[in-house]
Structure formats: structure tokens, C-alpha cells
Amino acid sequence: MVSDMHGEFEHLLKAIEMEQPDVIVCAGDWGDPNTVPREMCEQLIERFHILTVYGNHDDINLLKELRNADGTPVLVRDGEVIEVRGIKVTGINGIWAKSKRKPFYVLDEEVINAAQRVASECSDVDILLTHPCPIGIADMTPKGTHGGQRCFLEAFKIVRPRLYVCGHLHLPQRKQLRDGSIIVNVGYTAKGDYAVAMVGKNECVLEKHVMASVDEATNKA
């Protein structure tokens, strides 16, 4: 699990080489247009299956064009459920806003509608990907305030995934609820944050959550 590279891929590539994941899921913000090398992306998808949503710093056209080795899209469309290696993944793209002024803005009703489409088609989603966070869960900002949105909390309740992966706030954090579901805010992969989970038919275990950005901030302090 990765998020928020913002055009800096050193730590992403190191993590991938170390972990050798079966599937890479990304909660968005690969980097603004012209900061994400197509050649690097194509080399990655030759070796690894990648699923991602876009955030507010992404080359959306590039992500739409990229295809995995089996021909399936890298970019998960809103409310679409993709099954790869027995894992059911869905996503909702963009960041919350009150308008559609920018292409990556998403409205409350669009988030809820996408979640309802998922729930109507699939009752056992393994992974939900969004760039923003659900309010009150793994949504603390570096300033100590809550940075999540209510619509993403509602989407989480509607979809009921076993694992919810988000980013956006550049602060790694996680929470496991009483029902066993896990919410992981990956953090800031540009600074070395990433997570690893084992997702199987009857289990979802967070094996590792590397919080390098927090360690770096602590050392500087």
C-alpha cells in the first residue's frame, strides 16, 4: 500500500523491491502532470499488478491510459469492483469539494452514489481505496486537527470493506475497528511511508506499516 509520492519515487521503488508484493494498491497523488515518468510506470506494471485511484496531484490522463500486463486498467473507476488474485478492490477518485471547478473535485452525492453502486453489486469487498479519509478515523493532520470528510465515512459504512486505504494528509496512521475492519492512512510514501497487508479469503492482516516520515520528523525535533 502506497500513497502520496508527489513525483518522488526513490522510496516507492525501494519498498517495492524489498517487499515484492503480489498487488500494489495506491491511494493517489503519484504526482502532477509531467512529474511522473511514463517509462517508470510501464516498467512497474510489467512486473507488478497495480490498482490506484487519483487524488489532487495526479496526471489523470496518464493513469487512465496505463494498463496492467493482463490488459486491465491501472485506474479504478468510481464504484467499480475489480477482482485480482482473489482480492476484490474498489475505489472512489478525487478529493471532496463543494463544486466541480477542478477535475479532481468530487461532491458528497457522487461519493455516496459510488459507494451505493458497489454495495448493490458486491457484499464482500476486500479493499476500498480513496485519496481522502473518513472523518474521525485515521484522519489526523500534522497540525493535530481532523482532516477527513463525512461522505467518506458514509462510503466506508456502505461498502464495509475489510481494509480501507487512504492518504492525503501526509501522516501515517491506522485503526482497527471492533468488527475487524482496518483503516490505513498510508502516510507519505515520498518520505518512505508504506504498508503491507495479507488479504486472503478469510483474513485481512496488517503485517507492516512503515512510518518513516514520522521517524524523520522525530529525529529533526
User: What's the Cα-to-Cα distance from 143 to each of 60, 75, 131, rounded to whole Å?
Assistant: 29, 31, 19
Report which DSSP code applies to 190. Answer: G
Q: What percent of the chain has pLDDT over 70?
A: 98
Domain membership flag for residue 2: no
**Please, which pLDDT band fits residue 215 given cuts at 50, 70 and 90?**
confident
For 75, list phi and psi in degrees, rounded to 5: -85, 125
DSSP classification of residue 191: G
Question: Do the domain assignments include residue 174?
Answer: yes
CATH number at residue 142: 3.60.21.10
State the pLDDT at residue 218: 60
Evaluate if residue 217 carries a pLDDT over 70.
Answer: no
Q: Is residue 139 part of a domain?
A: yes
CA distance 38 to 213: 26
Q: Any idea what DSSP says for residue 159?
A: H
Question: Model's pTM, two decimal places?
Answer: 0.96
- Which amino acid would we find at residue 31? G
Average predicted confidence (pLDDT) for the chain: 96
How many domains does one find in the chain? Answer: 1
Containing structural domain, residue 143: 10-220
